[in-house]
Structure 1
Amino acid sequence: MSAEVDALLQEAKESIEAAQNYRSELQQRLNGLNQARKQVRGSSTQAREALRRHFSELQAAASRLLSERCAALLAEVDAIEADSVKPLDDCQSLIEHGVGQADELLRDGEAALRCGLGEKEDKLGSFTKKAMHIQLDSLPEVPALVDVPCVSAQLDDSLLGLLRDRVSRLGSVSSRPPVQIEELQERPGSILVRWCKVDEDFAAADYRMQHRRSGGGKSQFEDAYIGRDCEFLVLHLDPHTDYLFRVCARGEGRTEWSPWSVPQTGYTTLAPHEWSPGSEGYILSSRRNIALRSDSSHSHCGVLYSNAPTYFCGQTLTFKMSAVGQLDRRDSLGVCVDSRRGAESLQRDQAVCISTNGAVFVNGKEMTNQLPAVTLGSAVTFDMELVNLFPGGGGPSDGGHFKLRVTIGSGSREVVFDWLVDQAVDCLFFGCSFAHSGWKVLVF
């Protein structure tokens, strides 16, 4: 009976644990639903505010433009009226002056006729001279109605139709943005952001990706990339720090950008690649990811190594040339097992490298395959994976090796080969050496 009881107790404990796990999973799904509901309601609220604000601004701007246009047309009517009425007013003043003179002449004539015989001759003579002076047969010309302006306003009712058509197509509402972030892949001191279209009917001409630090609310989104590619490596990120990323697109023939994608949080746990400080003949940037060969008088300044073995198999290591100098066969860019001091170049044992003339060296031996020469803007990439291993004592006669499959790319070409190293390595150093000054290389 005790065995049966123990079995029942064990079964009960397992059921309780399963129920706890089940409840925990359900609670997580409830939290997910709450987040989804929050996103729907929050984005709907933002969309409503954006629509109201946009149309309110349009209404205010349209009202202002219409008022300004109406005022300009009214000012034109005022100017035409003023210019046209002035000569009419001048003519009216002339006629009224003539009427006044005629009235005065009439009074003088009637007075001359009523006067006595003794004064009649003088009065009539004076009246006759005055009448001749006024020139009663000269009348001012009054313009015909067809010769004076008749002001009118011409208004095109088609504007309302055009406005109605444009307004009916103004703006749009979508349930989701046309592009979304697909993957955030951590790299040393950086994050590779990949995105994709989720609306197949949307013809994207350009993409725009932004990022900012997460939390705090102080930092603003900053443009990291604008172009046609669907991925971008964001450099200069602090490890173990959350960053928010978002992306939008611009349609073919359009000037406005689409709505932003749902922001995604990403971070990197990998320390950034850095050159080792204090090496003779090299000047480093503040982040130590850029090295400048400064003085070719140090003809034997040796190899500039990484500050630590930060390159891991499975990653892509990139050297990008931002300035170039004179080519030399001793130049090298590559990776190595150790940071051996005193070496003039990485063209040595336990290292693989490419020279600036495109020659590839494996453990100090030059390969027959050659890559393009390194020029301004060139990006040289190293990719490695562990493909086989032979433990010492049970492997080859040379005491055992570890084999790494190496791919070196430069321009549109690449070489692939197997590299034998004497010991198991989890991480590798990288390095460079230049015989002449002027070379400037960024590593990431």
Structure 2
Amino acid sequence: MMEGDAMRQEAKESIEAAQNYRRELQLRLTGLKQACTQVRGSSSQARDALRRHFSELQAAAARLLAARLAQLVAQVDALEEQSLRPLTACQTLILQGVGQADQLLREGEAALRCDVEEDGLGSFNQKALNIHLDSLLEVPALVDVACVSAQLDDSVLEVLKEMVVRHGSVSSHPPVQIMELQERPGAMLVRWAKVDEDFSAVDYRLQYRRAAGGGAYEDAYVGGDCEVVVVHLDPQTEHLFRVSARGDGGSSWSPWSVPVAGSTSLAPHEWSPGTDGFILSSRRNIAMRCDSAPSGSPVLYSNGATYCPGQTLTFKVSAVGQADNRDGLGVCVERESGQETLQRDQAVCISTKGAVFVNGKEMTNRLPALALGSAVTFDMEVVALFSVGSSNNPSEGGANVKLRVTIGCGSREVVFDWLLETAVDGLLFGCCFAHTGWKVLVF
């Protein structure tokens, strides 16, 4: 009986294994179909692009050749008219002289038939003297008149042939591909890499669009970096990302990478509205210090404790004002009313002058002072979580948490441990500026 049960169990396991095997094969078959669809679809697009491009090239070349031909023929017409004008005038004068000579010949023959005593012979002689029969117009020699010709360089065909032979290329893989999408609050970190070692890339161009609706792609970044955070993305909305590259000395961009779809599930970071002295953008992710509040320098907090350890919080300075010792960008545990700075207990921040403060105490290490375009990043991870009992009863008390904090600005960063009195699910972020003109984007 036990042997039969074992055999039955073995059969069930084999059936389950076969089901799993079939499921995996079906998934691979689906992936294979998608790969075939990509090959066929991209090949069709490449053929259409080639036909369209060369058709446009042929039409443009025909227009250019026709225009050049018309220009050269017009030059021949102008040269012909210019060269014939004096010859035609000379011909007219000669024909007039021939006419006069014919008339004189007729009159002379008639005069010879007259008697000498008659006055006709004398009149003829006088008329012949007035015509100046010894005066002849000079006719230019052939070497002195125009001989219009066309100079055509047959080598242009060889040059054109060489250019056409090298024009265009076909490749099976784009030289750069998107390697990673990492969701950020209301944004997406996109990383890419060069996959063609023979391609020397200098600039990259990242574009994105909504996956649904098939709208046009928008430029998100053009530059030499291999990663960028694309901001202003609606959560739970899938977007397509693609990247291309431009080689050293080249003016044209490479083929686009295979589009990669991704979406962020994290709500975007927002500044808290209604704080005196600050103006917020429509998305509430940009804050601008607009005036000096009578009560001093207020701290503008986030709309909630939306920053969680394990994420990257970024502040980007898009406008600057006068620096002050109370200024700062950072994170804190609680919102404290009446505070004029983030340089306080249970908060970490960087001042506009580059000083780093932990729980109100300035660290020895400093970062670059904030300037237009500066990006400050906060990265935190939990490194220890332990309970702390009260002095009277060790069983009573809370939980302390130690966070490993990395603050980066430019090419420099500082790393330290930050001990919190209580464990928290999220932290507030904030900014503080004593003077107007500062504008900060958070993502």
Q: TM (normalized to structure 2)?
A: 0.92
Provide closer, same or farther for how the CA distance between residues 16 and 65 of structure 1 changes in structure 2, counting only shifts above 3 A.
Answer: same
Question: For 1:200-349, what aligned pairs fall within 5 Å after superposition?
Answer: 200-217=197-214, 219-300=215-296, 302-349=298-345
For the residues of structure 2 that align with 1:224 and 1:372, how far apart are their CA atoms? Answer: 27
Which range is displaced more, 59-68 or 273-282? Answer: 59-68
For the residues of structure 2 that align with 1:236 and 1:367, how far apart are their CA atoms? Answer: 34
* C-alpha deviation, 1:185, in angstroms: 0.7
Aligned to 2:61: 62
Aligned residues: 440
Contact map agreement 1:390 1:396 (CA 8 A) in 2: no
* C-alpha deviation, 1:28, in angstroms: 1.8
* C-alpha deviation, 1:120, in angstroms: 6.0
AA in 2 matched with 1:101: Q
TM-superposition CA deviations, 1:105-142 (whole Å, max 9, x none):
22223223334x5x961332332233223222222222
% identity of equivalent residues: 71
For the residues of structure 2 that align with 1:303 and 1:47, how far apart are their CA atoms? Answer: 56
Provide closer, same or farther for how the CA distance between residues 367 and 85 of structure 1 changes in structure 2, counting only shifts above 3 A.
Answer: closer
For the residues of structure 2 that align with 1:103 and 1:325, how far apart are their CA atoms? Answer: 102
Aligned to 1:97: 96
Residue number among 176, 179, 182 corresponding to 2:179 in the alignment = 182
Secondary structure at the residue paired with 1:424?
A: coil
Contact map agreement 2:387 2:397 (CA 8 A) in 1: no
AA in 2 matched with 1:223: D
RMSD over aligned Cα atoms: 2.4
AA in 1 matched with 2:105: L
For the residues of structure 2 that align with 1:291 and 1:369, how far apart are their CA atoms? Answer: 28
Provide closer, same or farther for how the CA distance between residues 114 and 220 of structure 1 changes in structure 2, counting only shifts above 3 A.
Answer: same
For the residues of structure 2 that align with 1:232 and 1:431, how far apart are their CA atoms? Answer: 23
Contact map agreement 2:211 2:240 (CA 8 A) in 1: yes
Aligned to 1:437: 436
For the residues of structure 2 that align with 1:72 and 1:392, how far apart are their CA atoms? Answer: 93
Q: TM (normalized to structure 1)?
A: 0.92
* C-alpha deviation, 1:262, in angstroms: 0.7
AA in 2 matched with 1:55: F
**Structure 1 residue 125 corresponds to structure 2 residue 122:** yes
Provide closer, same or farther for how the CA distance between residues 171 and 129 of structure 1 changes in structure 2, counting only shifts above 3 A.
Answer: same
Provide closer, same or farther for how the CA distance between residues 134 and 21 of structure 1 changes in structure 2, counting only shifts above 3 A.
Answer: same
Secondary structure at the residue paired with 2:162?
A: helix
For the residues of structure 1 that align with 2:249 and 2:43, how far apart are their CA atoms? Answer: 28
TM-superposition CA deviations, 1:138-194 (whole Å, max 9, x none):
222222222222222222222122112222211111111110111111111111111
TM-superposition CA deviations, 1:15-46 (whole Å, max 9, x none):
33333332222222222111111111111111
For the residues of structure 2 that align with 1:372 and 1:436, how far apart are their CA atoms? Answer: 20
TM-superposition CA deviations, 1:351-390 (whole Å, max 9, x none):
2223333333323333343334333333222111110111
Aligned to 2:150: 153
* C-alpha deviation, 1:210, in angstroms: 0.6
Which range is displaced more, 4-13 or 400-409? Answer: 4-13
Aligned to 1:33: 32
Secondary structure at the residue paired with 2:388?
A: coil
